[in-house]
Chain A
Amino acid sequence: MCLSQHFWQFLVPGITLGCLYALIAIGYTLVYGVLQLINFAHSEVFMTGGFAGLFMVQALTNSGVVPHGAQSWLDMFLGLSCGAVFGGIVAFLLERVAYRPLRRRNAPRLIYLITAIGASLFLYNLAGKLFGRDKVNIPAMYTNGVVFTVFGAQVRVQQVIIICAAVGMMLLLDVVVNRTKLGSGIRAVAQDSRTASLMGVNINRVISQTFVIGGLLGGAAGFLFGAYLNVHYQMGFLPGIKGFAAAVLGGIGNIRGAMIGGLLLGIVESLSQSCMSSQWIDVVAFVVLILVLMFRPTGILGQRLGRAA
């Protein structure tokens, strides 16, 4: 009953948020696919993307050009790329510095998880120390007007940008994973890393690449999220957990699953806003996560990256 009248008003931000969750979820799912490990520090990759994008846009704005026309597109593009690149760098370094030595030692999973948690704690508090602990808004890059309305729900420029950018990146990723040599390497390692290495796949390189791809998307999501709300040293925590929930919802290790799971989670979260007070919104993702884990632990699409059945 509470849904009917506001359905479309909540659906649009739900899809927007869902796209961002999907981008984060892909990072979790990719790493899980090749290492069977939850990269808890992925939320900090996201946060780095937010800050990197913020600095880029601030620098561009300080150069004195008023955003209009081509300039605003350029700002957006550069901010996004900067966020993505730094996200990729942090993810790469994480793998190199924290995970690879553990892998060489064949450390138990518990050790990996603790390392990831430690890295996450370290990174966001370092960011808090360096860049301050207040919420910062990314300077406006465009006028956030209404583009069109769907059944009475307004769709704004920002939402269109986020959805288009996210969908574009996801399509690109899908092509990369399914059509390129890089993608087949990732799928091979995900399926059976030992056999893959016997077949001449350089596992370390593939794992690095996987982290970087996840990091690129996570960083980009961080920038988009920062532009949507604000940038903050703890901004990674909740979206990180929700991204993970989305990855589980779609079936961890499954890239398309992560996309669907993210979208679904965003929509569910947004729609439930019409039924409950917004203070409780963050509970929704956890409840979804626990329900999925209880009743369908393999998620909607189930199974791992690259595995057939």
Chain B
Amino acid sequence: MSQVGGLPIRVKQSRKVDPRLVRLFGWLVLGALLRLMTVTTEGTSTNHLLVVDAAFKSTKLIGWLVAGFIMWVLTELWRARKIGALVTSRTTGVRRQWRTVADRALSRRAALLAVVVAAIVLPQFLSEFYQRVLVDQVAVFVLLAVGLNVVVGWAGLLDLGYVAFFAIGAYTCAYFTGALPVAPPFTLNPFVILPVAVVVCLVAGLLLGAPTLRLRGDYLAIVTLGFHEIVQLFLVNKNNWTGGNQGVSKPVPHFSINLFGIHYKWTLASLPYWYLFIGMLAIVVFLFSRLEHSKVGRSWTAVREDEVAAAANGVPTVKYKLMAFAIGASTSGLAGVLYASRLGYINPASFPVVLSISVLSYVIFGGMGSIIGVIAGSALLTFLPAVFQEQNIVRQEDIPMWIGAILVTMMLVRPQGLIPSRRRRRELRLASEGVADADAMSEAPEGRGTG
């Protein structure tokens, strides 16, 4: 316990040190840490210091330390010149005036069109490997992130069991296509399963959300985390239902259309699946963006900003939270069906807890609450790791570590994300001025004051 007594003295001392030196120290430590993180060797359980050795007994360490030093110099210069910032802010003000609202709407349409055209045309020119990445990673996770954005970005709820619904959707698909050890009463085409899985996940979301959403928001995070763990355990341990760790017993069939004289069967080829996925994504994004600018979206904002005021003005807060939670869950289930059918094989290891956190980080990175930001963020964070992995720059095992680092950095430096929604950015600024709340984490407005 002597450290506790000793601590305050250390804190006092650091106050006397020139803050610039403290910052220099910080940058150097950051450089060393980055060196440690970029080592390509992997530690072993017999020689624990192998990696540390490899990292620090190498000339590359000096490179990173120098980089840290340069960053320090640059930031100190920037700090010193902050006084000149007035001038620049005035010019940006003018620029903002010059860009009118109509202008912005037009340019947004143009950008959207460009993205859609690029999404249709560009994959044709990619190699088979990157096409597969686009389908298996980018498309699936963008869809997941767009769904989680409803829960986290719009309703301000932290859902860490999001991927559990993804698993439920995927296993629903496996069940109704007869791929699980338990035989279904009838087998269905994956297309027909889509709405079924949506309903199943909606119900699962309501069942989980109804008892927990009345509580403090941060409990929700841990309960959903627990839910994910329970779903995992169920998938692993209920061998005779789910096939346990081995996963499905027969491959899940691909999508196929056999309607009105149109016959088409999706196969292992990636491109047809890509178009199917982005088609689905387009529908979801279209519906969600309508939702955002509707009564429902506004009510979510109200709940997020001031739950007490929202309730006092007739917004049923729990109902709206539950709605967001269920909509998120069903989007996740939808993605699950697409994923299961595309890969043909799923097992519990396809849905680890860390995946929920990864999807969360995509949403955060892109910018909570902004659909465009979330799509960009998740596309970037799923595509880039694949590139790095392909080029042998980053080991696959290290990706969660980088994701964690990105999450923390983002929260410290740019909590509003890459392409933030205007509302969110305003909320965060107001929160820092002590005016408003920006999440639905406070105590539920009802049920206090008894006893």
Contacts and interface: CB of A to CB of B under 8 A. Distances in A.
Interface string B424-448: 0001100111100111011000000
A118 B52 contact: no
Interface stretch (A12-20, A105-113, A260-268): A105-113
Interface in A162-192: 172, 176, 182
B212 interface: yes
Interface string A137-171: 00000000000000000000000000000000000
Contacts of B437: 108
B89 interface: no
A244 B431 CA distance: 28
A72 interface: no
Interface in A257-297: 277, 279-280, 282-283, 285-286, 289-290, 293-294, 297
B4 A129 contact: no
Contact of A125 (B11, B361, B398): B398
B432 A105 contact: yes
B212 A123 contact: no
Interface in A115-141: 115, 117-123, 125-126, 128-136
Contacts of A57: none
B4 A55 contact: no
A125 B398 CA distance: 7
A85 B48 CA distance: 19
A255 interface: no
B45 A182 contact: no
Contact of B357 (A121, A126, A216, A245): A121
Interface stretch (A2-10, A63-71, A206-214): A206-214
B279 interface: no
B226 interface: yes
Contacts of B403: 118, 121
Interface string B1-43: 1011101100100000000000000000000000011010011
B411 A118 contact: yes
A307 interface: no
Contact of B223 (A117, A212, A293): A293
Given A85-B3, A121-B403, A126-B37, A205 B354 contact: no
Interface in B385-423: 397-398, 400-401, 403-408, 410-412, 415
B221 interface: yes
Interface stretch (B229-237, B259-267, B280-288): B229-237
Contact of B52 (A130, A134, A293, A294): A130
State which size class the interface on B falls in.
Answer: 35 or more
Nearest to B410: A118
Contacts of B126: none
A123 B7 contact: no
A301 interface: no
Interface of B: 1, 3-5, 7-8, 11, 36-37, 39, 42-46, 48, 51-52, 152, 156, 158, 160, 211-212, 215-219, 221-223, 225-227, 229-230, 233, 236-237, 353-354, 357, 360-361, 364, 397-398, 400-401, 403-408, 410-412, 415, 427-428, 431-434, 437-439, 441-442
Interface of A: 37-38, 40, 55, 85, 88, 92, 98, 101-102, 105-111, 113-115, 117-123, 125-126, 128-136, 172, 176, 182, 202, 204-205, 208-209, 212-213, 216, 237-238, 241, 244-245, 248, 277, 279-280, 282-283, 285-286, 289-290, 293-294, 297
Given A117-B407, A290-B211, 4 more contacts: A107-B415, A122-B407, A131-B48, A133-B42
9 smallest CB-CB distances across A and B, nearest first, come from A118-B407, A122-B404, A121-B404, A125-B401, A286-B226, A110-B439, A132-B45, A109-B441, A134-B45
14 contacts: A98-B411, A107-B415, A117-B404, A118-B361, A118-B406, A118-B411, A121-B357, A125-B398, A125-B401, A129-B39, A129-B397, A279-B237, A286-B226, A290-B226
